[in-house]
Amino acid sequence: MTRTGTRTMVRVRGGAPEQAVRYERLPCVERVLPSDAPYVLAARLLQGRNTEVSVGRAVFGASRVEIIGGPCAVESEDQLRTVAEAVAKAGVRVLRGGAFKPRTSPYAFQGLGERGLELLRKIADEFELAVVTEVMAPEQAELVASYADMLQIGSRSVQNFPLLEAAARTNKPVLLKRGMMSELDEFLASAEYILVRGNAQVVLCERGLRSFDRHTRNLLDVMAVPVLKRLTHLPVIVDPSHATGRSELVASAAFAAVAAGADGLIVEVHEEPEKALSDGRQALRSAEFQELVRTASAIAAAIGRCV
Ligand code: PEP
Ligand code: MN
């Protein structure tokens, strides 16, 4: 039995299909869903209204398009403070930054670890920002949750089920990135792992799929936004930085996402991209980021939303 707001979901094992019809006729039963569905709690069918996820002063899934900004990785106190000040000035309410970085090569910068978490908390507080940062292993979940306002589960971890469960147990909002090869139903089934543990605060993030053309790092699946909005009541945001991998393409991807109905964006920002320890090629400078926010705001207004 699972309770979601005003509804209670009762799982029935076995039983013939004709029994479902009998249950559906009961006055206390709203709907009978097939038990082989990979996700139920995440489905729009179960809950018509949009779920709103609050993170500090930000609310994902409401009328505002929430923009998250910050560096790929926390590198130093000065680097983070410069970026945090710039994103706060742009009106952003959530600071991103990796302390534990999933890098393709074990020789690449792996993040500052707990020191990175300390810096995120300290500097975010200076500018009244909330913090979202990645958790890579189940045993890190409590530690990351003790510093962060929202836990990010990266693309590479989308089907790390023990990690999804550990993140759910912290009761912090979770930013779940779509895997670079995830079908949308698989993605929603991953979200279901968090919801079924009683944590309803999940924000989904499309971040581009692995494809064959090398002109962009990944292929942004813009249509994932309206499709997901139909399939689920959970907020859906887009990461134009990892989707494109190139700073000169980030704004175009961000604008397409807002026009397609995304509930937010997560954008990488670095004051000196050429010196960045990770993902410098896709980082926007502060001024470019502020310009992106201004235009995104005009696009949001055109579809009855705001930034
Ligand atoms: C990130 O946001 O820093 C990141 C590693 O993203 P993804 O998991 O989408 O590759
Ligand atoms: Mn990155």
How does pLDDT run along the chain (307 residues), one tens digit per residue?
A: 776 666 777 877 777 777 888 888 899 988 787 767 899 999 998 888 999 999 999 999 999 999 999 999 999 999 999 999 999 999 999 999 999 999 999 999 999 999 999 999 999 999 999 999 999 999 999 999 999 999 999 999 999 999 999 999 999 999 999 999 999 999 999 999 999 999 999 999 999 999 999 999 999 999 999 999 999 999 999 999 999 999 999 999 999 999 999 999 999 999 999 999 999 999 999 999 999 999 999 999 999 999 9
The rounded Å distance from CA 78 to ligand 1 centre is: 22
- The pLDDT value recorded for residue 95 is 98
pTM metric for this prediction: 0.93
Domain 53-302: CATH superfamily is Aldolase class I (3.20.20.70)
Alpha carbons within 13 A on the beta-carbon side of 225:
24
Q: Which residues contact 38 (CB under 8 A, 6 or more apart)?
A: 185, 186, 188, 189, 192
Q: Which residues fall within 8 angstroms of residue 285, CB to CB, at 6 or more apart?
A: 269, 270, 271, 273
Reported as half-sphere exposure (CB side, CA atoms, 13 A), residue 12 has a value of: 14
Distance 304 CA to ligand 2 centre (A): 31
Which pLDDT value is given to residue 6? 67
Choose among 192, 202, 164: nearest CA to 61: 202
Residue nearest to atom 10 of ligand 1 (CA): 155
Domain boundaries, the chain: 53-302
The Cα 274–Cα 302 span in angstroms is 35
pLDDT at 4: 61
Beta bridge pairs of residue 237 = 205, 264
User: Ligand 2 mean position to 13 CA, how many Å?
Assistant: 43
Helix intervals (H) in the chain? 17-25, 77-89, 114-126, 141-147, 161-169, 184-195, 224-231, 240-244, 247-259, 286-302
* The predicted structure's pLDDT at residue 1: 74
Report the pocket of ligand 1 as residue ranges, CB < 6 Å. 72, 98, 102, 154-156, 177, 207, 239, 242
